Homo-oligomer: A and B are copies of this chain.
Amino acid sequence: MTNAPQNVLFIMADQLRWDYLSCYGHPHLHTPNIDRLASKGVRFTNAYVQSPFCGPSRMSTYTGRYCRSHGSTWNGFPLRIGERTMGDHLREVGVQSVIVGKTHMVPDTEGMNWLGIDPKSTIGVQLSECGFTPFERDDGLHPNSGYDGNPDYNGFLREHGINSPNPWDDHANSGLTEDGERKSGWLLKYSNLPADVPEELSETPYMTGRAIDFMEQAGDQPWLCHLSFIKPHWPYIVPAPYHDMYGPEHIIPPVRSDAEKATDHPVYKAYIESRICSTFARDEVRERVIPAYMGLIKQIDDQLGRLFAYMEEKGLMENTMIVVTSDHGDYLGDHWMGEKDLFHDQSVKVPLIIYDPRTKADATRGQVRDDLVEAIDLAPTFLSYFGGTAKPHILEGRNLDPLLHASEAPTEWRDYAISEFDYSTREARKTLGTAENKAQLFMIRDARWKLTYAEGFRPMLFDLETDPQELVDLGKSAEHADVISRLTNALFDWTRQHHSRVTVSKERVEHMSINGEPWGIVIGQWDEAEYEATTGHIFGNWSNP
């Protein structure tokens, strides 16, 4: 391998569950290309996102900061001006970070207006594109309602003869029945149909091709390429041959229990009873959706095979760190839930594979690690990779180097992983009548226990050692009062920490603490003699600080 790190390929799939890859144990979904990357890198089995939802999770991953720090706690909540992302930090060390695909970032146009920043200026584009240089920005949802209606991908489809007002929706995300009737991939009943687009023109190959286009023209300057697939996120529909690669025999049985369905936890109950969750809990829905979901993942794996082959050929495997991860999972009916939002592993845990080309990572190739890692660890890891100075006053994650380079566990690592969820815009809040500023959920998990702290309600607790499927909620168990109290206190410790003291480095704080007041500012000194005795300086002789 190499000692000259040059590039990072940061691959994110959208809504990819941690356990829907063969290297993570899926019995029927074979993902040999991702698995091969894992065999050359480190595979993390306890990687958590900072919010089990697209927007806030991504803003945490990109900024390296918790949701309570960056404040963009929900899809469409603009990232406040002044929050820097990995792209901004890497630009400072001469690295260009490009986006190919989705960020789900909404810019703070009000903040830009205030500061007089033209969104079309260089800095305005950076602020609008989450710190990345937009090579191909595509947030991946382009319904016929007109919402985000004109992706470049539509132009690509039209160039290839697929003409319609919105080929993304009309073709790439619709299917044809045997009778030739066009049916929308937005509706779950039709997830079994093949998308009405040649496979090589569908979104995942297109976006992979765009990443290759970028690498072709990237030149010798170091880069980070964030290849951010919209899939396997819904619309759950995939072109042939992927649409019927998997059938009912490949569907893992749902992880759920009658006791769960009878939960008295108000928030969990409100979710289970919500329209979306009760839909995904239906067997007919699972049977249509899951095979398509698996097909979409299989297609991603195949496309990564294509991309990795290209990189091998170009020598890029020698000097490019490759990360494969996701922004959150998908319940798919497990725990009587659909989508994401809550903190079962199906929702909040993600796959995380890191291939580090440096020779110092040779000792860890193929390792599987169960350390608690967080998505916010990626930004400081990338900054370190490119030789940047650590910024712990801003970047709240941890540089993963010790885990990537040591074959033994590091002596010190984090004790807890934390995630947050703001359900202020969700159906469950209406059901519960929670105030919008109290609609907060927190997860804190340690090596054994996972606690959900629900503002205004009792906690939920799972013993991951005896109950790895998280079926037995111990949140009311008197026997576990100590565990609940310990984790609750640890969570509160964390909320009390500094999350906004971002303009002063820790070194500067130490420096100020050692040096005290600025030179010449004299506090609490009686006279010249006392000043001299306590400071060692002559009062009034200001020439030699």
Interface residues of A (CB under 8 A from B): 68-74, 76-84, 88, 108, 110-111, 114-117, 121-123, 127, 141, 143-147, 184, 186-190, 234, 275-277, 279-280, 282, 284-285, 338-339, 422, 424-427, 429-430, 436-437, 440, 442, 455, 492, 495-504, 506, 509-510, 512-513, 516, 518-528, 530-531, 534, 539-540, 542, 545
Residues in B whose Cβ lies below 8 Å from that of A528: 187
Chain A at the B interface: mostly helix, strand, loop or mixed?
A: loop
Q: Taking CB as reference atom, which chain B residue is nearest A514?
A: B430
Determine how close the nearest CB of chain B comes to the CB of A7; give it in whole angstroms.
Answer: 24
A502–B70 alpha-carbon span in the complex (Å): 10
Instruction: Please give 12 more A-B residue pairs, beta carbons under 8 A apart, in addition to A71-B503, A187-B526, A430-B513.
Output: A71-B499, A71-B501, A74-B504, A77-B504, A78-B503, A80-B82, A82-B82, A144-B540, A187-B525, A279-B524, A282-B526, A440-B496
Residues in B whose Cβ lies below 8 Å from that of A526: 187-189, 279, 282, 284-285
Closest 5 CB pairs of A and B: A145-B520, A82-B82, A71-B500, A143-B520, A276-B524
Residues in B whose Cβ lies below 8 Å from that of A530: 279
Residues in B whose Cβ lies below 8 Å from that of A442: 496
A437 near B338 (CB under 8 angstroms)?
Answer: no
Determine how close the nearest CB of chain B comes to the CB of A329; give it in whole angstroms.
Answer: 16
A500 near B70 (CB under 8 angstroms)?
Answer: yes
A503 near B147 (CB under 8 angstroms)?
Answer: no
A88 near B70 (CB under 8 angstroms)?
Answer: no
B79 near A542 (CB under 8 angstroms)?
Answer: no
A300–B186 alpha-carbon span in the complex (Å): 70
A122–B115 alpha-carbon span in the complex (Å): 10
A525 near B186 (CB under 8 angstroms)?
Answer: yes
Q: Contacts A425-B512, A528-B187 known; A519 to B147 CB distance under 8 Å?
A: yes
Determine how close the nearest CB of chain B comes to the CB of A72; give it in whole angstroms.
Answer: 7
A503 near B72 (CB under 8 angstroms)?
Answer: yes
Q: List 6 A-B contacts (CB under 8 A).
A: A116-B117, A144-B542, A187-B531, A277-B524, A285-B526, A499-B500
Residues in B whose Cβ lies below 8 Å from that of A69: 500
A292–B408 alpha-carbon span in the complex (Å): 65
Q: Contacts A279-B524, A521-B143 known; A81 to B79 CB distance under 8 Å?
A: no
A496 near B495 (CB under 8 angstroms)?
Answer: yes
B540 near A275 (CB under 8 angstroms)?
Answer: no
B146 near A503 (CB under 8 angstroms)?
Answer: no
Residues in B whose Cβ lies below 8 Å from that of A512: 74, 76, 425
Q: Taking CB as reference atom, which chain B residue is nearest A81?
A: B82
A500 near B84 (CB under 8 angstroms)?
Answer: no
B437 near A503 (CB under 8 angstroms)?
Answer: no
Q: Taking CB as reference atom, which chain B residue is nearest A427?
A: B516
A187 near B84 (CB under 8 angstroms)?
Answer: no
A427–B535 alpha-carbon span in the complex (Å): 14
B545 near A500 (CB under 8 angstroms)?
Answer: no
B68 near A499 (CB under 8 angstroms)?
Answer: yes
A147–B234 alpha-carbon span in the complex (Å): 60
B429 near A513 (CB under 8 angstroms)?
Answer: yes
A542 near B440 (CB under 8 angstroms)?
Answer: no
A187 near B497 (CB under 8 angstroms)?
Answer: no
Q: Contacts A503-B80, A539-B184 known; A495 to B495 CB distance under 8 Å?
A: yes
Q: Taking CB as reference atom, which chain B residue is nearest A79?
A: B503
Residues in B whose Cβ lies below 8 Å from that of A68: 498-500
Q: Taking CB as reference atom, which chain B residue is nearest A82?
A: B82
Q: Contacts A338-B524, A522-B143 known; A500 to B80 CB distance under 8 Å?
A: yes
Residues in B whose Cβ lies below 8 Å from that of A275: 524, 534
A527 near B143 (CB under 8 angstroms)?
Answer: no
A339 near B498 (CB under 8 angstroms)?
Answer: no
A108 near B519 (CB under 8 angstroms)?
Answer: no
A521–B235 alpha-carbon span in the complex (Å): 9
A530–B440 alpha-carbon span in the complex (Å): 30
Residue of B80, B147, B503 touching A77 (CB-CB under 8 A): B503
A521 near B147 (CB under 8 angstroms)?
Answer: yes
A189–B539 alpha-carbon span in the complex (Å): 13
Determine how close the nearest CB of chain B comes to the CB of A212; give it in whole angstroms.
Answer: 30
Residues in B whose Cβ lies below 8 Å from that of A79: 503
Q: Taking CB as reference atom, which chain B residue is nearest A453?
A: B496
A198–B204 alpha-carbon span in the complex (Å): 80
Residues in B whose Cβ lies below 8 Å from that of A501: 71-73, 77, 422
A492–B494 alpha-carbon span in the complex (Å): 10
